[in-house]
Amino acid sequence: MSAQKARKLAAGNWKMNGIKASLAEATALAEMFPEPKVDILLCPPATLVAPMAAALFGSKVDVGGQDCHMKASGAHTGDISAEMLVDAGADYVILGHSERRADHGETDHIVAEKTIAATMAGLAPVVCVGETLEQREAGETLGVIRKQLSASLPDAVDLEKLVIAYEPVWAIGTGKIPTLEQIAEVHDDMRATLVDRYGDGANGIPLLYGGSVKPGNAAEIFATSNVDGALVGGASLKAADFSGIVKALEEA
Ligand code: PEP
């Protein structure tokens, strides 16, 4: 029997960008893809999750958060819970992005706790992993990714919902990307690691590549082994750019 194929997902991470006027980009994107052949996701800042979900209601573009707290509620000023994201209309949440690991000291353990919270609330967690330039140059990439996967994911995951994003830290927002061979090496290793831990069902986990994906390089990245889509920062802010990436994924 052939292994289950992962669904394809084009995910946009708006980071700390966007005000209400920016929702026009989200609705423009939805209008371009009334019947997309792949899943499409936009993760705006927390202030825009509810209004974006309302603006995209009835469309084929999903909405996600960029982080959630590991606890369901309580005295955590400035944080939001997974349940709040669901209440605002989100279906997904990005967890363990390297900017959160760097800016907020998020450890693998914290990411695993957040993954549990997101899963319990019914969200699809997009768990991010990736090596620094120093780690790549020291030949440590596969070891770093295996350790991050091992410690950032709990034993109990919903294989139907879990998404993994491989984002080399040095490729995010820099215009630099690994070679296609380097991407394939990591993605093949991640697939094997996940199947080893969770069984054959892990063949269905979408493995996204992230880091300077643009309309011009998306097709070759999507043709790479075990790449099932992308997590896109800068090029997801404008429908004109992101639509080129979505089209490339549809054609992959
Ligand atoms: C990201 O923020 O996850 C990302 C990959 O950013 P960019 O596409 O801008 O490199």
Tens-place pLDDT, residues 101-121? 999 999 999 999 999 999 999
The residues annotated as belonging to the active site are 97, 167
163 lies in a domain? Answer: yes
Distance CA 81, CA 84 (A): 5
Contact 202, 191 (CB under 8 A): yes
249 Cβ below 6 A of ligand 1:
no
- The reported pLDDT for the residue numbered 3 is 66
Q: Which atom in ligand 1 lies closest to the alpha carbon of residue 173?
A: 10
Rounded percentage of the chain residues whose pLDDT exceeds 90: 98
Q: Whose CA is nearest to atom 5 of ligand 1?
A: 211
167 Cβ below 6 A of ligand 1:
yes
172 Cβ below 6 A of ligand 1:
yes
Distance CA 183, CA 165 (A): 12
Does position 141 have pLDDT exceeding 90, yes or no?
yes
What band does 4 get if pLDDT is binned at 50, 70 and 90?
A: confident
Give φ, ψ of 43 to 5 degrees: -115, 95
Q: 130: CA distance to ligand 1 center in Å?
A: 12
Q: Which atom in ligand 1 lies closest to the alpha carbon of residue 235?
A: 8
Rounded to the nearest 5 degrees, what angle is found at the Cα of 32, between the Cα atoms of 26 and 33?
A: 95
Q: Residue 181: give its domain's CATH number.
A: 3.20.20.70
Q: Whose CA is nearest to atom 1 of ligand 1?
A: 233
210 Cβ below 6 A of ligand 1:
yes
Q: Count of domains in the chain?
A: 1
Distance CA 177, CA 23 (A): 29
Q: 13: CA distance to ligand 1 center in Å?
A: 7
Q: Whose CA is nearest to atom 8 of ligand 1?
A: 233
Instruction: Kindly state the average pLDDT of the residues 131-154.
Output: 97
pLDDT in tens, 170-195: 999 999 999 999 999 999 999 999 99
pLDDT in tens, 33-87: 999 999 999 999 999 999 999 999 999 999 999 999 999 999 999 999 999 999 9
71 lies in a domain? Answer: yes
Q: Which of 176, 183, 213, 245 for mutating ligand 1's site (highest number of atoms within 8 Å of CB)?
A: 213
Does position 1 have pLDDT exceeding 70, yes or no?
no
- The reported pLDDT for the residue numbered 45 is 98
Rounded to the nearest 5 degrees, what angle is found at the Cα of 122, between the Cα atoms of 205 and 3?
A: 20
136 lies in a domain? Answer: yes
130 Cβ below 6 A of ligand 1:
no
Distance CA 8, CA 221 (A): 13
Pairing of strands 124-129, 163-166: parallel
Does position 2 have pLDDT exceeding 60, yes or no?
no
179 lies in a domain? Answer: yes
Q: 11: CA distance to ligand 1 center in Å?
A: 10
Q: 211: CA distance to ligand 1 center in Å?
A: 5
Instruction: Kindly state the average pLDDT of the residues 204-231.
Output: 97
173 Cβ below 6 A of ligand 1:
yes
137 lies in a domain? Answer: yes
2 lies in a domain? Answer: no
4 lies in a domain? Answer: no
* Domain ranges, residue 203: 9-251
1 lies in a domain? Answer: no
